[in-house]
Amino acid sequence: MIDTHAHLDFDQFDPDRDAVIQIALNEGVEIIINIGTDFSSSQKSIELAEKYPQVFAAVGIHPHDANTWNSRTDPARLEKLATHPRVVAIGEIGLDFYRNYSPHEDQRRAFADQIAVARNLHLPLVVHNREAFNDTFDTLLDCHAHEVGGVMHCFAGIPEQGWQTVDYGFLLSVGGRLTYTNSGDPAVAEAVPLDKILLETDCPFLTPMPFRGKRNHPALIKHVRAKLAEIKRVTEAEVDRVTTAAARKVFRLDEKTTDR
Ligand SMILES: [Zn+2]
Ligand SMILES: [Zn+2]
């Protein structure tokens, strides 16, 4: 299993970060991609990836922090971080019109600028979208994001939007919400092919059942795998094989591991 979206740099893991990673490795998580949300967390993601051969980093500025993005100086600053050999993607970037912590115009500008950085460096994208699917998709189209591809993380939408994403060459990733009753995620996961789906935790958030309400961590990804196996009517081993291969391919993890 590969946890394609974790925030192990967050404070919630300060007391026991090393133990949490060790438990995940013991439970069969082979790789964790730690995702940056601002410059500081992107730097911390790289430090985790330097420390653990099983951790890789994504670097980027989350739409919540888009109001801090400086279009003149920050693209070069991000590009410098992203050339680190342990960085496998630009993210998480995108649009969040639910929380609206940053004005929409700032969000669009930061998103577009960061897609340009990804295209310069030929790195895939980790895209965050909440209540902004059409605007997110328009930005991807306008910025020719298909050249680098990537994943729409924690995909929330309807099956048609799932198909639209897949047709554009992007993958979907699913997490703990897949296990919640009254979530629309199972319908999307059922609709799109298994080889277009990745697994993620988005820990410390979105803890899968039966641990909802507690802190999420990468070892709990097995509950997402189990639910996806049930939805797809395949074995958990098959979900593991197909989603791991898709994650290795989109983030080019095999190249990165032989680099070392
Ligand atoms: Zn996100
Ligand atoms: Zn996230």
Any idea which ligand is nearest the CA of 152?
1
**How far is ligand 1, taken at its centre, from the CA of residue 153, in Å?**
6
Distance CA 80, CA 87 (A): 11
Contacts of 125 (CB under 8 A, 6+ apart): 89, 90, 91, 93, 115, 118, 145, 148, 149, 150, 151
- Tell which CATH architecture fits domain 2-259: Alpha-Beta Barrel (3.20)
**How far is ligand 1, taken at its centre, from the CA of residue 92, in Å?**
6
Q: Strand locations in 65-175, DSSP E?
A: 87-96, 125-130, 150-152, 170-174
Any idea which ligand is nearest the CA of 63?
1
- Per-residue pLDDT 10s for the chain (260 aa) are 999 999 999 999 999 999 999 999 999 999 999 999 999 999 999 999 999 999 999 999 999 999 999 999 999 999 999 999 999 999 999 999 999 999 999 999 999 999 999 999 999 999 999 999 999 999 999 999 999 999 999 999 999 999 999 999 999 999 999 999 989 999 999 999 999 999 999 999 999 999 999 999 999 999 999 999 999 999 999 999 999 999 999 999 998 865 44
Tell me the residues surrounding ligand 2 (ion) with CB < 5 Å: 202
Any idea which ligand is nearest the CA of 154?
1
- Sort 233 into a burial class: Cβ within 10 Å, 0-12 / 13-18 / 19+: exposed
Joined tokens for residue 22: 């060790």
Sign of CA dihedral 114, 156, 104, 100: negative
**How far is ligand 2, taken at its centre, from the CA of residue 6, in Å?**
7
**How far is ligand 2, taken at its centre, from the CA of residue 202, in Å?**
5
How much is the pTM? 0.96
**How far is ligand 1, taken at its centre, from the CA of residue 125, in Å?**
12
Per residue in 153-162, pLDDT (tens digit) is 999 999 999 9
**How far is ligand 1, taken at its centre, from the CA of residue 128, in Å?**
4
Distance CA 7, CA 212 (A): 17
Any idea which ligand is nearest the CA of 216?
2
**How far is ligand 1, taken at its centre, from the CA of residue 13, in Å?**
18
Contacts of 22 (CB under 8 A, 6+ apart): none
Per residue in 75-114, pLDDT (tens digit) is 999 999 999 999 999 999 999 999 999 999 999 999 999 9
The domain spans of the chain are: 2-259
Report CA 173 to chain centroid distance, whole Å.
7
Any idea which ligand is nearest the CA of 130?
1
CB 154 within 8 A of CB 5: yes
